Chain A
Amino acid sequence: MSTPFLSFDGVIAGYGGGDVLKGVNFGVESGGVTSIVGPNGCGKSTLLKTVSGLLKPRLGSITFKGESLVGKTPKAILQMGIVQVPQNHSLFREMTVRQNVELGAFLIKNKAVVAARYEKVCELFPVVSERAADRAGALSGGQQRLVEFARCLMLEPELVLLDEPSMGLDPKTLRAMFATIKTMNAEGRTVLLVEQNARQALKMSHQGIVLENGVVRLSGSGIDVLNNPEIAALYLGGSITHH
C-alpha cells in the first residue's frame, strides 16, 4: 500500500477549553483538488490551521508523504512544500505588490531564484506585474486574492491550502478565482480547498469531504458528494444538482 499524500488520523483540535475537531479521519490523494464543505463552525478552517502549523492538534496524527506534521512550526511545514492562503486578506497592506509577492519566497535566500520565480508568477498573474509598485492595500478584494495566490506559489509548493478564497468576491471575480485554482492544479499542485461556496467547489473537485460538528460526515468524489440527496438538502440549498 502506497503512503498517502496527506492523511488525517483521529485529529482532535480546538481553542481554549473546547474541541472544534473531534476526531477527523481522511486522506488526500496527490495531484487533485479536494474540497472540504460544511456548515459554519464545523471546523473547516481549524482543520487547515492544523496542517499549516498555526494550530497544534491535541490528539491524532497528520502526515504529509509519510512524515508527521504535528508539532512542526509553520516555517518547517512551508519547507516541506505546504503553503496556506488564509481566510482573511493577508497581504501586507503597506508594502507594494512586488514586495508582498517576493515575501512569498522569504525562505529562499538566492536572489536569482527569487527573481526567476517572480517572473514566472507574473506570467500566471498579470495583476502582479501591472500593479507591482502599488501599495497592496490599494487593490480590490479580488486583486488582493490573486496576489495572495501569486505569493503562495513563490515557493513552488506541492500542496496548497486555500481557506475560503471566494469570500467577499463578486461573481465575475469568483469565476476567475476558481479558474485560477484549476490552473494551479493543472500545473501539478495538490489543492485542499475550504469553501462556503460548496456547489462550485465540489463541481471542480476530485474529492469532496463534508465536515459536520468536527467529524467527517461524508467523503467521496466531488460529484458524488454534490449529488448526495441528504447533503444537498443540508448544505447545498436543498436541491440536487444534475449535470
Chain B
Amino acid sequence: MTFSNLVHAVIDGVLTGSVYALMATGLTLIFGVMDIINVAQGVFVILGSYLSYALSVHFGIDPFVGLLITMPTMFLVGIVVERAFIARLKGPEKTAMSILVTYAVSLVIEGALNMIFSTNPVQINNASYVNSSVHLFGMWLPFIYIYGFILASVLLGSLYFLLYRTRFGASVRASLADQTAAALVGIDVKKVSTICFGIGIAVTAAGGMIYGTTNAFNASSSYDLISRLLTIIVLGGMGSLAGALVAGVSMIILEDIVAVAWSPVWSNITFFILLVIVLSFRPQGLFGKQSARVA
C-alpha cells in the first residue's frame, strides 16, 4: 500500500464517512432522548433517496435544492410515525418493543417503495456534478463527494448549534441525560421526543440524497444501511453524538484502507471485527456512558 493510497483512503473516509455520521446522528439522537432503537432508519434513508430521485428525474429539481422539500417532508413523516406508533410504547419493555414496531414500519415503507418504484436499482445521476471530478491532493475526487461532505458538515454544524446554543438544545440535552429530572424542571419531554424523532428522520433526507447520487439503490439497500448505522452508533456509544461522528468517519476510513491494502472482500467485515474488539474493552462504546440507559 502506497502513502498516496493511504491519503486517498483517509480523504474518502472523511468525505463519505461524514454522510454516514449524519445519518447515524439521527439514529443516536432518537435513541439517546427516547430509548428507541429505530431500525427503520435505513429505509427512511432510502425513502429520502427516492424522494430526491423523484424530484430530480420527474420534475428536474436539483437534488440539493430538492432538500428544501424533502427535509421538511421527512421531518413531518417522522412526527407522524412518532405520534402514531412510537409514543404509544411505554414501560420497561419500551426499547425492545421499539425494535419490533420500527421493523414493522420499515417493512411497510419498503413494500410501498417496491410497489411504486419496482425493485430495479436506480441512481440519481442527472445532475452535472454527479459524474464529474476535480483533481485534488493528487487524485480525482468526484464533486458529489465534496458537496456531500460540505452538506453533512453544514447540517452537523447546525445540529450542534441547535443542541448546544439554544434553549431547545438545552432541553434536548437535559432529556438525553435524565428524563425524570428534565420533566421536573418543566421540560416537556414528550414534545422534545417528538421533535427529536422528526429531526432524526429529517437528516435521512440529506443522507439519502447523497447515498442515492453515489450508489445505485432499491428499497432493499436499507438492510445494508441499517446494519452500518447501528454498528456506527454502537461503536460510538449509544446516544453519543460525538461517537456517531467519530465512528462514522472511522468506519469508511478503515474499510477503504483494508480494501486497498488487503482485499475489498474483507473491507466490510473489518469494521465489525473492530467493533467486537472495542466492545470487549469498552462495552459502552467509544463515547458512551458506563451505565447509560440501564435504569
Contact = CB atoms under 8 A, between A and B. Distances in A.
Interface of A: 52-54, 73-75, 78-79, 83-86, 90-95, 99, 103-104, 106-107, 151, 155
Contacts of B187: 75, 106
B174 A90 contact: no
Contact of A104 (B183, B185, B188): B185
A74 B187 CA distance: 8
Query: Which 10 pairs show the lowest CB-CB distances between chains A and B?
Result: A90-B181, A92-B177, A107-B186, A74-B183, A78-B186, A75-B186, A106-B186, A106-B185, A103-B185, A92-B174
Contacts of A92: 173-174, 177-178, 181-182
A92 B178 CA distance: 7
B170 interface: yes
Contacts of B188: 73, 75
Given A90-B178, A92-B178, A99 B184 contact: no
Looking at chain B's contact residues, is the secondary structure mostly helix, strand, loop, or mixed? helix
B180 A103 contact: no
B171 interface: yes
Q: Which of B171, B177, B180, B184 has the most CB of A within 10 A?
A: B184
Given A74-B186, A85-B184, 20 more contacts: A53-B183, A54-B180, A73-B188, A74-B183, A75-B183, A75-B186, A78-B186, A79-B186, A83-B184, A90-B180, A90-B184, A92-B177, A92-B178, A94-B173, A94-B177, A95-B173, A95-B174, A95-B177, A106-B167, A151-B185
A104 B187 CA distance: 10
Interface string B136-176: 00000000000000000000000000000001001101100
B241 to A, nearest CB: 11
B176 to A, nearest CB: 9
B185 A86 contact: no
Contacts of A84: 184
A99 B170 contact: yes
Looking at chain A's contact residues, is the secondary structure mostly helix, strand, loop, or mixed? loop
B180 A86 contact: yes
Contacts of B170: 99, 103, 106
A128 to B, nearest CB: 15
A93 B290 CA distance: 13
A13 B288 CA distance: 36
Contacts of B178: 90, 92
Contacts of B183: 53-54, 74-75
A118 to B, nearest CB: 14
Contacts of B171: 106
A139 to B, nearest CB: 15
A103 B181 CA distance: 10
Contacts of B182: 92
Nearest to B177: A92
A73 B187 CA distance: 10
Q: Which of A74, A85, A155 has the most CB of B within 10 A?
A: A74
Nearest to A83: B184
Given A99-B170, A103-B170, A106-B171, A93 B184 contact: no
Nearest to B295: A88
Interface in B184-206: 184-188
B184 A54 contact: yes
A54 B182 CA distance: 11
Q: Which of B185, B186, B187 has the most CB of A within 10 A?
A: B185
A35 B170 CA distance: 34
Contact of A86 (B173, B174, B181): B181
A126 B173 CA distance: 26
Q: Which of A83, A106, A151 has the most CB of B within 10 A?
A: A106
A110 to B, nearest CB: 12
